[in-house]
Amino acid sequence: MNSTQDVARPLPIGSVVVADHQTAGRGRLDRRWESPPGTALLASFVLLPNPVLSLAAGVAAAQACGGGVRLKWPNDLLLNGAKVGGILVEVTPTTAICGIGINLTWAPPGAAKLNQEREPLLERLRVELDRWASADLDDVLTLWRALSDTLGRRVRVDQGEHVIEGTAEDIGPGGELIVDGIRVTFGSVTHL
Ligand code: BT5
């Protein structure tokens, strides 16, 4: 299929679309998500809209992966500091489409792979996502903080027109990153 996000879009809440291969897998801002056939977990979950779904999905995915997977704000899964997976939340008027890609047996240069089997990982992901997508905000934020590789670091946030550099101090109640007291709601983060 082209992208699990597009196949999932018209489906009802509770649906899950899984691909062996995507010809047009995408990240945020129309960036591409690459993975050769059969080498990754590529799934889109149709969920109720939730303002911190991206963070909740990160928590769920890190829990499902286990083995030291950590979170980089806003939506990356890291293994040993390298990107092993990503999360893309897109909304329709009534649903949120939560796309999760995790490298299993292949990764692009500089990225990481998890080396786990897809089916058991998908099962754990379903369970964790069910739980965290409807969990209390405070519980999501608490576990996100514990799994975070971003908090406490110096970061650069590139917002296109603006670049913010400073210490990533915390995340706020809306999932925003607080950098030297400034609330950051979007941008690409580099750990310095
Ligand atoms: C993301 O975007 O990290 C979200 C990726 C979501 C992919 C899933 S797969 C299932 C579902 N269906 C879709 O079509 N998408 C979702 P972003 O933060 O924008 O990161 C994208 C950037 O990550 C790219 O510009 C590359 O630099 C890098 N990248 C691409 N493929 C990668 C891979 N397999 N592993 C690590 N990094 C990758």
> How many residues are recorded in the chain?
192
Q: Mean pLDDT across the chain, nearest whole number?
A: 97
CA of 28 to the centre of ligand 1 (A): 7
% of the chain at pLDDT higher than 90: 97
The predicted model gives 23-49 an average pLDDT of 96
Q: Ligand 1 centre from 32 Cα, in Å?
A: 6
- Work out the average pLDDT over 59-63: 98
24 burial via Cβ count (<10 Å: 0-12, 13-18, 19+): exposed
Q: What is the mean pLDDT of residues 148-166?
A: 96
What is the DSSP secondary structure assignment for residue 148, as one 8-state letter?
A: B
State the pLDDT at residue 29: 86
Smallest CA separation from ligand 1 atom 16, residue: 99
pTM above 0.85, yes or no: yes
Determine the average pLDDT of the residues in 3-13: 97
Q: Which comes out higher in pLDDT, residue 67 or 153?
A: 153
DSSP secondary structure of 23-67: SS-B-GGG-B----TTSEEEEEEEE---TTHHHHHHHHHHHHH-T
* 173/166 Cα distance (integer angstroms): 20
Atom 25 of ligand 1: nearest residue by CA position:
31
